[in-house]
């Protein structure tokens, strides 16, 4: 009994190594290994033996349909859940990351971390815009947008409860700052008026945001005059003229942040140095890319940790399910395996054939799981409270890298679930097996 | 004294798909209390079917079957189950002990259906095991016993609830000569010293020698010719 | 009960197979326990017993807008209100942004409005008398190894001091405890004086973040809330007052539909579990048909054979499920001890009850078909090997 346990532990320890390798290797490397393996199957003698044994095994799967389905569906479940949760994280990350770029920079009050905590006065906004690294437009104005980020409680579609909608007052030059932004309905707001344009995701999320609706912001009626699509996290926001927002929210002369376009990404360091050397400016400067990356980091890390933890636990369940099934499969095929070995098939190819069979089932399960996750969740819209304590709407995103990740998990589970039964098949004394005839 | 088992005009027809198979034809038979009856015949003669009917494992298609004054051909499945619990003990060719239970636990199985407390169940089982000579193997599992020993445990299980009737289907079919003799001697002792009524199906004429009566079945009917009896006795 | 031995031996007939299946069940219910603890944390955030007698008043515009302190006395005067506290979210950082915890500037009577925060009388007195004093929850103090007398510096993110510095320093004078195990989350907070905050803050003086009202009769909540809001109607600081319950629910719902996420994951997990254990049970019963036939010959009724098989599958689920939930309980305790402020509640009675119900349900579901098969077997055919 002790020897058996020791043997089992030793095999488990050895089995972990390929798993670790699998996890570390990038997808193309795994693909290359697979290709090498296929070559071995086709060209070497033991490889061909293994493949023949596998074919025999696969032919009997219809007799063991129930248990084979168990392996497949168990692994499909793990991969499906993993891919769905990672898609959530990926969607959040992508939405936030696209919002930033390396040639625009955002300036906040020192120590505030996020826009909503930051307060900059008018002087600071002017000084920042005057720095030489800032790009100018055709009319000679610096492309800088002093902005106010605040919020309004607006009921959400769906559950009718209050949601916190981000209201962003923007400067006149904001259109040159975000050239990707398009108005997809209605028109831009006119400066000086209480007019709003609504991001396409905000329009989906909140009530009273259709063209022509009136919204109450701090006791004053505002009109929705347009809808925009900026392809990033700004789609969750409602925009208006910063000066009018300041009046409505009694902000006087202060802003939350200033965002500028630099003449070139290479000038960022110079820009940062110039600002740092100005004693009147107590601010922090980041490229918008760095700023939004930092925002997404916290939340996406939590989701990834959650997803991985859930997947690990599900995977453990799936491994035991696969072990059960493959042990039973090996047991029912005792006769065939014994016959093969009596004919002259060596132990190695038999092991490999059982492993191949398990891995084929596992990969099929992985494909099914990823497929279901894709069908149900790709582009699924969800929202959460972003770093600014207001709604951030994003879409789940399933990328090929994600699917490859899921398949790697499937292979790992299949490998662990098939290794012990495969070894059992090879170690079974031939005479015992034949006696079953 | 009226017979323990009264069989009148008993027939059994099996329907397999569209085919009708008449296995027993109008059997008439009496079995007295204290009899040790051997049923013999070639394979397919219906002897196991007759045994199953007498033991209440199956119901006849036609005819009457009375055991200890009760018409069991009329009973439904659950009533038969209850009847079996109180009246019949079975011994099979392949022992059919539960492999994960010890000898004692196997013997106690029929007692689980009674209201006896655990201590009483244990003592009854001990007595039965003593009777079959396996008291020292009480804690062993079937896997640790020889074929003959397993069959004796099966017999202990069959008698532990003191049934009216002991029904045996080829009890020595899977045993070597020595174990077979042990088992048959035991059955004979149960019959002679404890008055147990036994009906045994066998294809082995030497086994039939231990019985008090022998009957032959051929193609579903009883053949009790003088020749057959002479053959059996010799 | 006398049949337990029979069911148990049937279950462990094939030790390895049963143990593997058990481990899959353990994994499934471990996950159930963990996810449920997260879901409970979100669902019950704020639904405390004492919370039933509290209202929260925020700016109608958004919970981030501040309210004037001047309406404090008028709120106090509303009939039905027994005590009013005011709070500002400070949002300071202790050493590293990763060390996130709630820190708030509060009115002196905070502990009257939150009676579940138990503070020894001497420490409460020390707090009232120390301008820069701070009180922290026991879990937070344990996590950072703070003791009374320590100086705690926080880096302001929102509120720099008038002096221009970003660092606010507090003297730890008290540690409060929360008795209710499921509300232990509330111990991860730091409170200091609003007066110190207002005097030292660079801008926005005279403003509070939100008001918390303690009301004598919870059933009067709606009336009192309306009366409070009426005070500021048509002003430039309109308010929205609702029960603490409603506020927390609304806030949590903005974060994520945790219920849906957890429900979907567990749906997938239990679906695969049903398939897996169903397959094992089907195999197990198929192998035991001859033995079930023997039981029937002995006189076990059809119903009792059905019951034996169902008992086997339910027992399998119960053993694995209970082990999984127990593991989850251990894991949650460990995580909470190591990481401090995590949105996870200890695995409570409700989770156990729900879990047991699920185990029974899945056990019955999984055993139904095999049990039926066992019940309906024809003895004669089974014995003959057909």
| Through-space distance between the first and last CA atoms of chain B, rounded to whole angstroms | 30
Quickly state the pLDDT bin for A429 (edges 50, 70, 90): low
Would you state the pLDDT for residue A1?
A: 62
Would you state the pLDDT for residue C216?
A: 87
Name the range with the highest mean pLDDT among A282-286, A325-329, C232-236: A282-286
Would you state the pLDDT for residue C142?
A: 85
Q: Average model confidence (pLDDT) for chain A?
A: 86
**A249 lies within 8 A of chain C by CB:** yes
Q: Are residues A220 and A117 located together in one domain of the fold?
A: yes
Q: Is residue A404 a contact partner of residue A27, using CB atoms and an 8 Å limit?
A: yes
Higher model confidence: residue B231 or residue A334? Answer: A334
Quickly state the pLDDT bin for B200 (edges 50, 70, 90): very high
From C2's Cα to the closest Cα of chain A, the distance in A is 30
The domain spans of chain C are 4-45+257-383, 61-237
Ranges of beta strands (E only) in B1-94 are: 5-16, 19-31, 36-40, 62-67, 70-71, 88-91
DSSP state letters, A333-388: THHHHHHHHHHT--HHHHHHHHHHHHHHHHHHHHHHHHHHHHHHHTT-EEEEE-TT
Residue B78, token pair as written in the block: 């659950």
Q: Is residue A2 part of a domain?
A: no
Q: In the B/C pair of chains, how many CB contacts fall below 8 A?
A: 66
CB contacts of B118 in chain C (<8 Å) are: 2
**CATH class for the region spanning B34-57+76-233:** alpha beta
Would you state the pLDDT for residue C125?
A: 92
Q: Are residues A84 and A211 located together in one domain of the fold?
A: no
Would you state the pLDDT for residue A221?
A: 92
Name the range with the highest mean pLDDT among A192-196, A421-425, C1-5, C347-351: A192-196
What are the residue ranges in chain C where pLDDT is below 70? 44-48, 182, 340-341, 385-386
CA angle in degrees (0–180, nearest 5) for C104-C108-C112? 100
CB contacts of A247 in chain C (<8 Å) are: none
Residues A109, C61: C-beta atoms closer than 8 Å: no
Would you state the pLDDT for residue C99?
A: 80
CB contacts of A325 in chain C (<8 Å) are: 279
CA angle in degrees (0–180, nearest 5) for C139-C141-C147? 145
- pLDDT tens column, A123-175: 888 899 988 889 998 888 899 999 999 988 888 887 778 888 999 999 999 99
Indicate the residue of C24, C63, C203 with minimum beta-carbon distance to A321: C24
Closest-CA residue to C26 (of C366, C381, C321, C313): C321
Q: Are residues A271 and A373 located together in one domain of the fold?
A: no
Residue C5, token pair as written in the block: 């031995």
Would you state the pLDDT for residue A195?
A: 94
Would you state the pLDDT for residue A436?
A: 47
CB contacts of C253 in chain A (<8 Å) are: 159, 161
Average pLDDT estimate for A294-308: 84
CB contacts of C255 in chain A (<8 Å) are: 384-385
Indicate the residue of C16, C157, C272 with minimum beta-carbon distance to A77: C272
Quickly state the pLDDT bin for B226 (edges 50, 70, 90): very low
The domain spans of chain B are 34-57+76-233
**Phi and psi at residue C81, in whole multiples of 5°?**
-90, 120
Cα gap C324→C356, rounded to integer Å: 11
For chain A, positions 189-208, list CB contacts with chain C under 8 A: none
Would you state the pLDDT for residue B69?
A: 87
Would you state the pLDDT for residue A239?
A: 95
Q: Which of A281, A315, A338 is the endpoint of a domain?
A: A281
Long-range contacts of B214-217 (CB under 8 A, 24+ apart): B214/B37, B214/B38, B214/B39, B214/B40, B215/B29, B215/B37, B215/B38, B215/B39, B215/B40, B216/B39, B216/B40, B216/B41, B217/B39, B217/B40, B217/B41, B217/B45, B217/B46, B217/B47, B217/B50
Residues A109, C35: C-beta atoms closer than 8 Å: no
What is the residue range of A237's domain? 111-281
CB contacts of A392 in chain C (<8 Å) are: none
Q: For residue A279, how many other CB atoms are within 10 A of its CB?
A: 6
Would you state the pLDDT for residue A437?
A: 44
Subunits with 3+ C-beta pairs closer than 8 A to B = C
Q: Is residue A271 a contact partner of residue A230, using CB atoms and an 8 Å limit?
A: no
Higher model confidence: residue A113 or residue B116? Answer: B116
Q: Which residue of B has its CA nearest to C15?
A: B100
Give the residue from C2, C298, C312, C384 with the most B CB atoms within 10 Å of its CB, the best one to mutate.
C298
Residues A382, C256: C-beta atoms closer than 8 Å: yes
- pLDDT tens column, B140-190: 999 899 888 999 999 999 999 889 899 999 998 888 899 999 999 999 999
CB contacts of C21 in chain A (<8 Å) are: 320-321, 324
Q: Which residue of C has its CA nearest to A319?
A: C24
Residue C260, token pair as written in the block: 């849906």
Q: Is residue A211 part of a domain?
A: yes
Residues B78, C301: C-beta atoms closer than 8 Å: yes
**A382 lies within 8 A of chain C by CB:** yes
CB contacts of B101 in chain C (<8 Å) are: 5-6, 9
Higher model confidence: residue A213 or residue C100? Answer: A213
- Cβ-Cβ contacts under 8 Å for B139 (sequence gap 6 or more): B102, B103, B104
Residue A43, token pair as written in the block: 């060209």
Residues B84, C297: C-beta atoms closer than 8 Å: yes
Average pLDDT estimate for B89-100: 86
Residues A161, C156: C-beta atoms closer than 8 Å: no
The answer to whether residue A186 scores a pLDDT higher than 90 is yes
Residues A314, C27: C-beta atoms closer than 8 Å: yes
CB contacts of C276 in chain A (<8 Å) are: 70, 74, 317, 321, 324
Indicate the residue of A117, A162, A328 with minimum beta-carbon distance to C250: A162
Is ipTM strictly over 0.90?
A: no
Q: Which of A225, A255, A281 is the endpoint of a domain?
A: A281
Q: Which of A254, A281, A308 is the endpoint of a domain?
A: A281
Cα gap C231→C227, rounded to integer Å: 7
Residues C13, B99: C-beta atoms closer than 8 Å: yes
Would you state the pLDDT for residue B203?
A: 87
- pLDDT tens column, A66-110: 888 888 999 999 999 999 999 999 998 888 888 888 989 999 988
Number of domains in chain A: 2
Higher model confidence: residue A15 or residue B71? Answer: B71
Would you state the pLDDT for residue B152?
A: 92
Residues B52, C380: C-beta atoms closer than 8 Å: yes
Give the residue from C15, C207, C275, C279 with the most A CB atoms within 10 Å of its CB, the best one to mutate.
C279
CB contacts of A115 in chain C (<8 Å) are: none
From A251's Cα to the closest Cα of chain C, the distance in A is 10
From C15's Cα to the closest Cα of chain B, the distance in A is 11
């Amino acid at each position: 009994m002790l020897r058996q346990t020791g043997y089992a532990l030793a095999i488990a320890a050895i089995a972990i190594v390929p798993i670790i390798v699998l996890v570390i290797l990038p997808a193309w490397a795994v693909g290359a290994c697979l290709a090498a393996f296929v070559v071995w199957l086709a060209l070497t003698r033991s490889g061909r033996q293994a493949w023949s044994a596998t074919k025999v095994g696969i032919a009997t799967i219809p007799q063991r349909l129930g248990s084979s389905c168990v392996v497949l569906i168990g692994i499909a479940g793990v991969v499906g859940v993993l891919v769905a949760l990672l898609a959530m994280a990926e969607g959040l990350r992508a939405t936030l990351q696209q919002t930033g770029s390396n040639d625009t920079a955002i300036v906040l009050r020192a120590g505030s971390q996020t826009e909503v905590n930051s307060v900059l006065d008018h002087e600071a906004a002017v000084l920042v815009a005057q720095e030489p690294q800032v790009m100018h437009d055709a009319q000679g104005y610096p492309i800088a947008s002093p902005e106010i980020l605040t919020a309004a409680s607006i009921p959400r579609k769906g559950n009718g409860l209050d949601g916190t909608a981000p209201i962003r007052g923007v400067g006149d030059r904001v259109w040159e700052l975000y050239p990707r932004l398009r108005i997809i309905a209605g028109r831009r707001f006119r400066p000086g008026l209480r007019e709003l344009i609504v991001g396409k995701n905000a329009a989906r999320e909140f009530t009273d945001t259709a063209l022509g609706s009136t919204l109450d912001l701090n006791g004053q009626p505002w009109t929705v005059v347009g809808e925009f699509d900026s392809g990033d996290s700004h789609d969750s926001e409602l925009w208006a003229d910063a000066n009018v927002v300041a009046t409505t929210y009694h902000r006087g002369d202060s802003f939350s942040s200033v965002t500028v376009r630099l003449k070139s990404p290479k000038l960022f360091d110079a820009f940062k140095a110039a600002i740092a050397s100005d004693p009147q400016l107590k601010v922090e400067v980041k490229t918008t890319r760095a700023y939004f990356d930092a925002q997404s980091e916290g939340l996406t890390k939590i989701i990834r940790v959650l997803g991985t933890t859930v997947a690990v636990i599900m995977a453990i369940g799936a491994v035991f399910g696969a072990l059960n099934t493959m042990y039973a499969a090996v047991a029912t095929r005792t006769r065939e395996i014994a016959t093969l070995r009596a004919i002259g098939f060596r132990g190695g190819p038999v092991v490999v054939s059982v492993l191949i069979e398990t891995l084929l089932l596992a990969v099929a399960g992985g494909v099914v799981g990823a497929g279901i996750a894709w069908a149900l969740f790709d582009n699924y819209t969800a929202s959460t409270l972003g770093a600014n304590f207001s709604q951030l709407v994003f879409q789940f995103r399933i990328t090929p890298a994600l699917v490859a990740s899921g398949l790697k998990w499937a292979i790992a589970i299949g490998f662990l679930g098939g290794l012990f039964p495969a070894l059992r098949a090879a170690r079974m004394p031939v005479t015992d097996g034949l006696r079953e005839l | 004294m009226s017979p323990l088992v009264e069989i009148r005009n008993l027939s059994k027809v099996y329907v397999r798909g569209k085919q009708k198979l008449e296995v027993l034809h109008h059997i008439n038979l009496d079995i007295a209390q204290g009899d040790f009856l051997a049923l013999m015949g070639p394979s397919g003669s219906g002897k196991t079917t007759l045994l199953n009917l007498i033991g209440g494992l199956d119901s006849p298609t036609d005819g009457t079957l009375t055991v200890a004054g009760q018409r069991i051909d009329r009973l439904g499945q659950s009533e038969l189950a209850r009847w079996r619990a109180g009246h019949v003990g079975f011994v099979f060719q392949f022992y059919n002990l539960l492999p994960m239970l010890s000898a004692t636990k196997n013997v106690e199985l029929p007692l689980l259906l009674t209201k006896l407390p655990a201590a009483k169940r244990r003592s009854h089982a001990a007595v039965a095991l003593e009777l079959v000579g396996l008291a020292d193997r009480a804690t062993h599992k079937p896997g640790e016993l020889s074929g003959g020993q397993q069959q004796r445990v099966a017999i202990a299980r069959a008698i532990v609830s003191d049934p009216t009737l002991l029904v045996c289907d080829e009890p020595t079919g899977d045993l070597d000569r020595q174990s077979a003799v042990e088992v048959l001697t035991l059955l004979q002792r149960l019959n002679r010293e404890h008055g147990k009524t036994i009906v045994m199906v066998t294809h082995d004429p030497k086994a039939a020698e231990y019985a008090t009566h022998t009957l032959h079945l051929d193609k579903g009917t009883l053949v009790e010719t003088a020749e057959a009896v002479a053959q059996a006795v010799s | 009960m006398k049949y337990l031995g029979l069911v148990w031996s049937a279950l462990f007939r094939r030790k390895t197979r049963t143990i593997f299946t058990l481990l899959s069940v353990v994994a499934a219910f471990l996950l159930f326990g963990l996810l449920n603890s997260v879901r409970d944390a979100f669902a019950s955030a704020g639904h405390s017993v004492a919370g039933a007698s509290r209202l929260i008043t925020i700016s109608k515009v958004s919970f981030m807008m501040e309210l004037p302190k001047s309406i404090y006395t008028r709120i106090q005067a509303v009939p039905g209100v027994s005590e009013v506290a005011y709070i500002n979210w400070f949002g300071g950082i202790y050493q590293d942004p990763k060390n996130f915890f709630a820190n708030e500037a509060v009115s002196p009577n905070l502990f009257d409005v939150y009676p579940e925060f138990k503070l020894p009388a001497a420490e409460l007195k020390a707090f009232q008398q120390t301008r820069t004093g701070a009180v922290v929850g026991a879990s937070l103090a344990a996590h950072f190894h703070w003791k009374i007398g320590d100086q705690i510096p926080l880096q302001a993110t929102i509120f720099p001091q008038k002096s221009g510095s970003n660092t606010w320093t507090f003297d730890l004078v008290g540690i409060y405890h929360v008795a209710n195990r499921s509300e232990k989350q509330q111990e991860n907070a730091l409170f200091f004086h609003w007066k110190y905050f207002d005097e030292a803050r660079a801008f926005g003086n005279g403003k509070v973040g939100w008001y918390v009202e303690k009301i004598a009769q919870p059933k009067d909540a709606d009336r009192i809330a309306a009366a409070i809001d009426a005070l500021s109607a048509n002003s430039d600081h309109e308010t929205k007052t609702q029960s603490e319950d409603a506020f927390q629910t609304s806030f949590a719902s903005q974060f994520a539909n945790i219920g849906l996420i957890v429900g979907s994951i567990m749906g997938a997990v239990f679906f695969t579990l049903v398939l897996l254990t169903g397959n094992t049970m089907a195999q197990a019963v198929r192998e035991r048909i001859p033995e079930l036939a023997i039981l029937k010959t002995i006189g076990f009724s059809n119903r009792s054979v059905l019951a034996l098989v169902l008992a086997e599958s339910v027992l399998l689920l119960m053993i694995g499920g209970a082990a999984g939930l127990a593991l989850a309980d251990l894991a949650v305790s460990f995580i909470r001890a190591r990481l401090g402020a995590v949105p996870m509640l200890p695995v409570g009675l409700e989770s156990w009850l729900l879990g047991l119900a699920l185990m029974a349900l899945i056990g019955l579901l999984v055993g139904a078909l095999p049990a039926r098969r066992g019940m309906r077997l024809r003895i004669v055919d089974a014995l003959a090997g057909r």
